[in-house]
Every structure is written in C-alpha cells, then in structure tokens.
C-alpha cells in the first residue's frame, strides 16, 4: 500500500471565503441603491460610522438600523439590482429637498 505524501498545489484563482464589503468602492457621499424590478420596490443602504442604515419606501425612507448581513443577503438575491448612487437620492425620495 503506497501513500502519496506530496502536497497538492493550491489554486491561486480561488476566491477566498468570507464576507465581502457591499460598500467597497462607494464614494464618501454615496449610498447603495437596491431595486427589485419584480416588485417595483426600491431601498437604500448607508454606512454611518459603525452603523448600517436602511431607507425603504414602505417606511417613507426613514432611517432604520439594520445588520450588514441583511445587506449582503439583499444584494445576493437574483432579482435585486444594486449600485452606488449619490446620497441626494434618499433626500429626494424622502421629500427633504426643496423645502
């Protein structure tokens, strides 16, 4: 009985496990906009210091604390489109501009 004790080469193209940062690449004045074209809903996520805030149209875009894991789950949904947009979007949809 022979055993092959040679080490196997590691794959260098493998993606390392672990969470990714959904806010990586966003500018200082940007938020993450999510939209589900199937339902027509849209909402935004913002990192504010150590907190993550969610702004959803069902709550008139009032800030709600949420978990980073919830953001990851949302953007992983196949039907959800997400992109970085200016924070002004939240102010416009919440009716805070032009007052």
Q: Is the pTM of this model over 0.85?
A: no
pLDDT tens-digit profile of 64-75?
999 999 999 998
pLDDT of residue 57: 87
Which residues 6+ apart lie within 8 Å of 87 measured at CB? Answer: 29, 30, 31, 46
Q: Average pLDDT, stretch 31-49?
A: 93
pLDDT tens-digit profile of 15-29?
445 557 889 889 989
Q: Average pLDDT, stretch 45-53?
A: 92
pLDDT at 82 over 70: yes
């Amino acid at each position: 009985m022979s055993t092959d004790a040679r080490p196997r080469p590691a794959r260098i193209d493998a993606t390392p496990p672990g969470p990714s940062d959904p806010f990586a690449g966003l500018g200082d004045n940007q938020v993450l906009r999510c939209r589900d074209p199937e339902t027509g809903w849209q909402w935004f996520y913002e990192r504010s210091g150590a907190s993550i805030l969610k702004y959803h149209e069902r709550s008139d875009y009032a800030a709600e604390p949420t978990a980073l894991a919830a953001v990851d789950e949302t953007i992983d949904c196949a039907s959800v489109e997400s992109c970085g947009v200016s924070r002004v979007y939240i102010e416009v949809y919440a009716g805070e501009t032009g007052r």
